[in-house]
Amino acid sequence: MAGYYPPWGFYYRVEFGISKNKHDTGFQSVSGLAVEYEMEEYREGGENRFTHKLPVRTKYAELVLKRGMLTDSDVIRWCLAAFRDRDFQPRDLNIILLNEKSEPLRAWIIAQAIPKKWQISDLNSTDNAIVVETLELMYRYFTVR
């Protein structure tokens, strides 16, 4: 009966080709896997009941990755090189949804991602919370496998 039930969304990994550290693949959440068409309206002369809406180009959302902060991360070094040195090196990455046997169910291949934002959660001496880092990435497009 495989394939008849929707998969769980909590078992996945994010693979950057720049890191050999297995901890760099674990993220608490991934969002921004979305694509939509930008539409252009065209008004036809003499037709006042509606306007034609024509697809122009696809637009991809920004990818947002969250995880507990790592103190040794090749991914963060890549981000910091962009922010500190303006050394933008676009990277492909894979987001892989896994089944209960750690086998891939679906993969999103992100093309030419670059860092847009890196954020650290608030530090508060009265909270008993881990430090969470958030990466926001822009990319050209994704494909689904």
CB neighbours of residue 23 within 10 Å:
12
Helix/strand/coil for 82? helix
Q: Note whether residue 2 is domain-resident.
A: no
Q: Note whether residue 1 is domain-resident.
A: no
Domain range for 88 is 12-35+61-144
Confidence of residue 3 (pLDDT cuts 50, 70, 90): low
Residue 77 host element (H or E): helix 74-85
pTM of the predicted protein model = 0.85
Q: Note whether residue 120 is domain-resident.
A: yes
- Residue 126: the pLDDT is 92
- Residue 81's Cα: distance from chain center in Å? 19
Q: Note whether residue 80 is domain-resident.
A: yes
Using one digit for the tens of pLDDT, what is the confidence trace for 51-78? 999 999 999 999 999 999 998 899 999 9
Which two three-digit tokens encode residue 119? Answer: 């954020």
Q: Note whether residue 48 is domain-resident.
A: no
Q: Note whether residue 132 is domain-resident.
A: yes
How many domains, the chain?
A: 1
Separation in Å, CA 100 to CA 7, 27, 28, 49, 104: 10, 18, 18, 53, 10
Give the CATH number of the domain where residue 29 resides.
Answer: 2.30.110.20
Using one digit for the tens of pLDDT, what is the confidence trace for 85-137? 999 999 999 999 999 999 999 999 999 999 999 999 999 999 899 999 999 99
Residue type, 5: Y
Q: Note whether residue 110 is domain-resident.
A: yes
Q: Note whether residue 98 is domain-resident.
A: yes
- In sequence order, the 6+-apart residues with CB closer than 8 A to the CB of 69 are 120, 130, 131, 132, 133
